[in-house]
Structure 1
Amino acid sequence: MSGQALRDLNVLPPLELDKKPDGSVKGKVCIGSIDENHDKTQSKVPSTMSASSVNDVSSGNNVVEAGNSEVEYIDSENLTDLQDVDACLSTLLARLDSKEWIALCEALNNVRQLSLYHKEKMVEMLGDVIPLIVKSLKNPRSAVCKTAIMTSADIFKIYSDMIIDSVDPLLVQLLLKSSQDKRFVCEAAETALIAMTTWVSPTLLLPKLQPCLKNKNPRIRAKASMCFSRSVPRLGIEGIKSYGIDKLIQTAASQLSDQLPESREAARVLALELQSVYEKSRALPAADSEQVENTDSWEVFCQAKLPPLSAQAIIRVTCTPKDAIVAGC
């Protein structure tokens, strides 16, 4: 075979984008045997994606896998109901444990469809389904990982507090994925974490986040700090007082000296929220004993509840210009 013919065989079809009738975009992508090559190609495709491979082409040690395969990233609002619910349910667990990534992505989307349209039938299966979703979150193929992340986001939204006992492994993986370098996976994980802090009750979620704030990985600590900071305001004034402003301000102080700026900014936002709640609670009518407890200024409160250096750091980020002159912030 001539050298020109060999070079022709090594040339793969370029990315083609076609409009579907519904206005979404279909992209034809070459599926390589090396996952990193697949990810680079896939990252250029919009959220609704179709992947179809080409015929086997080999040159030396380089082999492109063949097969006609499709996977789609479907937004929640575009999910439709299943035609045969019972058949889907009967094979769901097996397909969620499949080694075929296309079948696995389809099964994950089925979980989303079943949760959206047949929530009552899925509730009893969640205990078996969630560990398999966690397994997919660990999958090295980005298409599987992202589909699992989107499934997690829908589960938070649909089941909210019902999945709190199973949230720990999901939380750890989503924090990991939200802090990695692949942008499209990272953005999907961020969306899932926002769904979690939006739909899961903060009283249940905050204790789950607390251990993550001490994780050895600074990126995980940063993402956990952001989730913690988003969750606290949802408690409301009375909820924050019940949870304990002193405990929350200690958490903010610990993150204020953390390695990454995201952690420090989340801690600053949390400290400002707690200061606002503390000042409002002082102004509210209350029982005599509680009123006496809340007569101390914010600065005095911080100094009473925190070590000197931590108190100084919290006061510095929360003091107003007027306070700065008085306290020397």
Structure 2
Amino acid sequence: MALRSLDNALPITPERPKRQTKVAVSIPKLSEPSANDENRFPSAPIADATIDYISSENLKPISDPESNIQSLNDGMDSKDWTKVCESLNNARRFALFHPSLLLPNLEKVVMILVKAIKNPRSAICKTSLMASSDIFKAFGDNLLEFTDFDAFNQLLLQLLLKASQDKRFVCEEADRALHAMVGSMKPLPLLHKLQSCVGHANLRVRAKAAISISHCVSKMGLEGMNEFGFVPLLHIAVDSLNDRLPEAREAARSVVMSVHEAFMESEDKGEESWESFCHSNLAPIHAQAIVKLISSQEYPSLGH
């Protein structure tokens, strides 16, 4: 009789623990992908632990590169993710040691990089970001010449998106790729590419774009700023000057300081003052903000 009583009780007592188990399981499934899609597949982190992330300094030339270049694209298109990572590392080796062989396939490689960066598996994503850095360093402005408009823009957008994510090692790798991009390309054509990104709906993407723009502007010098135009540069800056993230605002201030310095060195300004220039070319509220910003830098006590 005791056993029957216990059996009859079983359907009643498990109800509360059963609901608690469902709640516990649902939390990581909902929170992890929303923060970062790299963790979408639970098995990925375990498998990714077997991948070696090789620094550029430790990569070696490819033996018989002429023969191996033919199989490079096939490897990057493989359904076996370990082969994809291996091929991405080979693409890095071609870029660093055999760039002339990779150049004719550069646009296809860039599109494969875009696809790999979007891959939810962490190993593929990080390896493709490392490959992007090496390709920027190897080809620089040739990326704009040998890839079409859309291919480069897609790569740029994916780098900004990954640099804006929460997963630290992905974010840092994307930041390195953006840094390599700015460091290896002429600032003027790159600035035209980055210009549209400061209006992106994602505030983190806007901030990352603003940071890259500020690095471009700091490289331009007076001649480059004259060619792009002081006024368009200030318009880019005011878009980020009141943005929500402090990184975007700091980048915008850096752009304003660079433009002001170049303006003061320019012989074309004649007798026009900085204040007059700003009020002549910007909306009153923006002109006032920029004049105040420069004044606070020149006379720090006025900023208090």
Query: Under a length normalisation based on structure 2, what TM-score does the superposition of the two structures give?
Result: 0.80
Q: Work out whether 1:208 is the aligned partner of 2:193.
A: yes
Mapping for residues 286-305 of structure 1, pairs under 5 Å: 286=267, 290=268, 293-305=269-281
Q: Work out whether 1:73 is the aligned partner of 2:53.
A: yes
Mapping for residues 64-143 of structure 1, pairs under 5 Å: 71-143=51-123
- Give the secondary structure class of the aligned counterpart of 1:35: coil
CA 1:243–1:88 in 2, change beyond 3 Å: closer, same or farther?
Answer: same
Mapping for residues 231-242 of structure 1, pairs under 5 Å: 231-242=216-227
Give the structure with the higher percent helix.
Answer: 2
Q: Distance in 2 between matches of 1:36 and 1:313?
A: 49
Q: Distance in 1 between matches of 2:123 and 2:297?
A: 50
Q: Distance in 1 between matches of 2:57 and 2:297?
A: 47
Q: Distance in 2 between matches of 1:294 and 1:213?
A: 32
Is the 2:66–2:101 contact (alpha carbons within 8 Å) kept by the matching residues of 1?
no
CA 1:34–1:244 in 2, change beyond 3 Å: closer, same or farther?
Answer: closer
- Give the secondary structure class of the aligned counterpart of 2:125: helix
CA-to-partner distance for each residue in 1:169-204, whole Å, 9 max, x for gaps?
A: 110000000000110010000000000011111111
- Give the secondary structure class of the aligned counterpart of 2:54: coil
Q: Distance in 2 between matches of 1:37 and 1:225?
A: 36
Displacement of 1:323 in angstroms is 5.5
Q: Distance in 1 between matches of 2:59 and 2:116?
A: 20
Is the 2:238–2:286 contact (alpha carbons within 8 Å) kept by the matching residues of 1?
yes
Q: Distance in 2 between matches of 1:227 and 1:38?
A: 31
Q: Work out whether 1:180 is the aligned partner of 2:186.
A: no
Q: Distance in 1 between matches of 2:91 and 2:54?
A: 13
Mapping for residues 1-329 of structure 1, pairs under 5 Å: 35-36=41-42, 38-39=44-45, 51=50, 71-164=51-144, 165=148, 166-281=151-266, 286=267, 290=268, 293-320=269-296
CA-to-partner distance for each residue in 1:287-320, whole Å, 9 max, x for gaps?
A: xxx3xx4322111111111101111111222214
Q: Which residue of 1 aligns with 2:26?
A: none
Is the 2:117–2:125 contact (alpha carbons within 8 Å) kept by the matching residues of 1?
yes
Q: Which residue of 1 aligns with 2:21?
A: none
CA 1:143–1:275 in 2, change beyond 3 Å: closer, same or farther?
Answer: same
CA 1:280–1:107 in 2, change beyond 3 Å: closer, same or farther?
Answer: same
Is the 2:78–2:84 contact (alpha carbons within 8 Å) kept by the matching residues of 1?
yes
Q: Which has the higher contact order (CA 8 A, sep 6+)?
A: 2
Q: Distance in 2 between matches of 1:158 and 1:82?
A: 16
Residue type of the partner of 1:309? I
CA-to-partner distance for each residue in 1:239-296, whole Å, 9 max, x for gaps?
A: 1112111110111111102121111110011111111111122xxxx4xxx3xx4322
Aligned length: 261
Is the 2:88–2:128 contact (alpha carbons within 8 Å) kept by the matching residues of 1?
yes
CA 1:256–1:36 in 2, change beyond 3 Å: closer, same or farther?
Answer: farther
Q: Distance in 1 between matches of 2:285 and 2:274?
A: 16
Displacement of 1:151 in angstroms is 0.4
Residue type of the partner of 1:231? C
Percent sequence identity over matched residues?
41
Q: Distance in 1 between matches of 2:285 and 2:40?
A: 51
Residue type of the partner of 1:263? A
CA-to-partner distance for each residue in 1:131-180, whole Å, 9 max, x for gaps?
A: 11110000000110000000000111100000024421110000000000
Q: Which residue of 2 aligns with 1:17?
A: none
Give the structure with the higher percent strand.
Answer: 1
- Give the secondary structure class of the aligned counterpart of 1:73: coil
Residue type of the partner of 2:279? Q
Is the 1:222–1:260 contact (alpha carbons within 8 Å) kept by the matching residues of 2?
yes
Unaligned runs of at least 5 residues, structure 1: 1-32, 43-49, 52-70
CA 1:41–1:310 in 2, change beyond 3 Å: closer, same or farther?
Answer: farther
Q: Distance in 2 between matches of 1:206 and 1:241?
A: 13
Query: Under a length normalisation based on structure 1, what TM-score does the superposition of the two structures give?
Result: 0.75
